[in-house]
């Protein structure tokens, strides 16, 4: 299995490195990093001052060279009526996206003794693993420690682990 990371906009090397490392660790897959892409035409919604997550998935599917392709962007994303999303993927699809925009907004509330940069890197790793999990057909998991748990705020992202729980792991076998 090959996952191609497609940076969209100015994505720091550390973000690409953490994303790549997390995917290798959890899914034991090969990871490549594509050339940086510019924001897709029509992605920006001026009434929301945000970008449509779906256009980034379409871009990842179009330019990605992997079995699974994930766009990573620093831009703020929305999906349908949701105020924002950390990421989006289609179940069993080949494309997905993660936005780092809201992952660096706050400390983890004293949950750990980690620095702000470590907390941010942890969140990036978890969201990348989460969205690729959807492309493997995994739905949201009720186990709040599982990386596939639905996390509408960074607090929930901080609580969960980077790995799949036993039930989710068995589903992708």
Phi and psi at 159, nearest 5°, equal -70, -40
The rounded distance, in Å, linking the Cα atoms of 61 and 68 is: 8
Say whether 156 is catalytic. Answer: no
Phi and psi at 89, nearest 5°, equal -150, 155
Of the candidates 131, 139, 161, 162, the residue annotated as catalytic is: 131
Q: So which residues are the catalytic ones?
A: 131
């Amino acid at each position: 299995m090959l996952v191609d990371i497609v940076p969209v906009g100015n994505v720091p090397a550390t973000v690409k490195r953490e994303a790549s490392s997390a995917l290798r660790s959890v899914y034991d897959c090969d990871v490549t990093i594509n050339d940086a892409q510019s924001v897709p035409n029509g992605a920006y919604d001026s009434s929301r001052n945000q970008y449509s997550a779906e256009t980034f998935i379409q871009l990842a599917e179009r330019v990605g060279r992997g079995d699974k392709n994930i766009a990573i962007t620093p831009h703020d994303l929305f999906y349908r009526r949701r105020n924002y999303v950390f990421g989006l993927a289609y179940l069993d699809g080949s494309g997905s996206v993660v936005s780092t925009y809201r992952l660096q907004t706050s400390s983890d509330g004293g949950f750990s003794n980690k620095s702000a940069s470590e907390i941010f890197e942890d969140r990036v790793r978890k969201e990348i693993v989460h969205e690729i999990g959807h492309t493997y057909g995994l739905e949201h998991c009720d186990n709040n420690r599982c990386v596939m748990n639905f996390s509408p705020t960074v607090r929930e992202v901080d609580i969960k682990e980077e790995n799949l729980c036993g039930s989710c792991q068995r589903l992708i076998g």
